[in-house]
């Protein structure tokens, strides 16, 4: 595993910056994070999943990040913290800082708006009229930023992002390659066997600290805006339909499809390849398992699943055939219960 910027810190230095308690040699030098199974000299591993606990005994790491419950399970130098996974994330960020191009406008870029001095615009990027960019914005090669778009401080657009006119993105957000924000929503009115296009006159409003994965698409609103709340994280290849309201700090995994006018309250978690039908509202704290289909409102927190466990194909076919007869079976049981009650009444 290659190091990011060549930064080397002692455990004591790390704890001074990120917190946690150091047990063992605080002068142990660390240059990179790694898994317990792959770590070597100068690397620090972490235990965030108990299935890897046995690797504490065999790891070649110079140190580990560990919770108080397992602090005595290893003799290696260690940083003890309540949330080893979050600590690992912060340390990985510290040791591997993101680098971006220097400020300035590439000669091949087309800019119809004033560009602040501390903004970077890459090759062949296109910036429309009336665009407002905050300080520290980075726009990589091939991006298209439409007219009157607003982008907050320190937000990064990776190559070939397209932002349609009038949309807004907050500060400290990350938009990965190929994302499309503000394309028309799927809005058509039936008329005598034909479909009339409904102009999509809303916008997309993306909050602060949002991350949007590669090739995700977020449709503009038909009338009201589509909104992505502060701190939400969207994976790759996600579809967000028009007029959706995604709350703060929601997480949506890859290949999920969210139909129009869906509302996710704060903190909702959507698993990969899940499908959310239109006009559904999902309550704060709800977790939707991967591959699930949500057809109705969810009014309270908890985990929800609508997929069958994996099984052999022949068994699946047999069970699927039985499912088709469940309604008839339920009717028969209901009739038998009525007859049984009638017989008991006569007795």
pLDDT in tens, the chain (347 residues): 444 447 999 999 999 999 999 999 999 999 999 999 999 999 999 999 999 999 999 999 999 999 999 999 999 999 999 999 999 999 999 999 988 899 999 999 999 999 999 999 999 999 999 999 999 999 999 999 999 999 999 999 999 999 999 999 999 999 999 999 999 999 999 999 999 999 999 999 999 999 999 999 999 999 999 999 999 999 999 999 999 999 999 999 999 999 999 999 999 999 999 999 999 999 999 999 999 999 999 999 999 999 888 899 999 999 989 988 999 999 999 999 998 988 877 76
- On whether the CB atoms of residues 205 and 228 are closer than 8 A, the answer is yes
- On whether the CB atoms of residues 68 and 54 are closer than 8 A, the answer is no
**Distant-in-sequence, close-in-space partners of 58: CB < 8 Å, separation ≥ 6:** none
CA–CA separation, 27 and 25 (whole Å): 5
pTM: 0.90
- Longest CA span, the chain: 96
pLDDT at 4: 46
32-33 and 29-30 strand pairing: unpaired
The residues annotated as belonging to the active site are 242
CA–CA separation, 76 and 11 (whole Å): 12
pLDDT at 342: 85
Dihedral (Cα; 14, 1, 179, 304), 10-degree rounding: -70
Assign 3-state DSSP to the chain and report helix, strand, coil percentages, each to 5. 20, 25, 55
- On whether the CB atoms of residues 189 and 168 are closer than 8 A, the answer is no
CA–CA separation, 214 and 110 (whole Å): 24
pLDDT at 2: 44
- Whose structure tokens read 């690992």? 88
- Whose structure tokens read 């034909």? 194
CA–CA separation, 281 and 249 (whole Å): 16
pLDDT at 347: 61
The HSE-up count of residue 105 (CA atoms within 13 Å, CB side) is 14
Q: How many residues does the chain have?
A: 347
pLDDT at 251: 98
42 dihedral zone (left: phi>0; alpha: psi -120 to 50; beta)? left
């Amino acid at each position: 595993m290659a190091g990011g910027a060549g930064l080397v810190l002692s455990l004591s230095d790390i704890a001074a910056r990120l917190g946690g308690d150091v047990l063992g040699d605080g002068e142990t030098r660390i240059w990179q994070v790694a898994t317990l199974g792959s770590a070597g000299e100068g690397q620090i591993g972490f235990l965030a999943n108990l299935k890897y606990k046995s690797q504490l005994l065999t790891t070649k790491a110079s140190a580990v990040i560990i919770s108080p419950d397992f602090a005595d399970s290893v003799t290696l130098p260690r940083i003890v913290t309540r949330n080893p996974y979050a600590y690992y994330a912060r340390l990985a960020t510290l040791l591997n800082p993101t680098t971006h191009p220097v400020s300035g406008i590439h000669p091949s870029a087309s800019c119809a708006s004033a560009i602040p001095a501390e903004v970077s615009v890459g090759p062949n990027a296109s910036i429309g009229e009336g665009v407002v960019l905050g300080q520290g914005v980075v726009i990589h090669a091939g991006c298209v930023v439409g007219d009157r778009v607003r982008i907050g401080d320190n937000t990064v657009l990776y190559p070939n992002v397209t932002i349609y006119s009038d949309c807004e993105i907050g500060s400290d957000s990350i938009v990965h390659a190929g994302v499309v924000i503000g394309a028309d929503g799927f809005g058509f009115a039936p008329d005598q066997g034909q479909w009339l296009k409904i102009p999509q006159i809303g916008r997309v409003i993306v909050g602060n600290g949002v991350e949007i994965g590669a090739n995700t698409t977020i449709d503009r609103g038909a009338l009201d805006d589509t909104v992505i709340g502060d701190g939400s994280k969207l994976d790759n290849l996600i579809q967000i339909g028009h007029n959706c309201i995604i709350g703060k700090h929601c997480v949506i995994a890859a290949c999920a499809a969210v139909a129009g006018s869906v509302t996710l309250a704060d903190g909702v978690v959507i698993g990969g390849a899940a499908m959310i039908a239109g006009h559904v509202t999902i309550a704060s704290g709800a977790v939707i398992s991967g591959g699930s289909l949500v057809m109705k409102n969810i009014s309270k927190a908890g985990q929800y699943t609508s997929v069958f466990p994996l099984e052999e194909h022949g068994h699946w076919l047999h069970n699927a055939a039985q499912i088709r007869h469940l309604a008839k079976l339920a009717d028969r049981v209901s009739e038998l219960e009525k007859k049984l009650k009638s017989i008991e009444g006569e007795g």
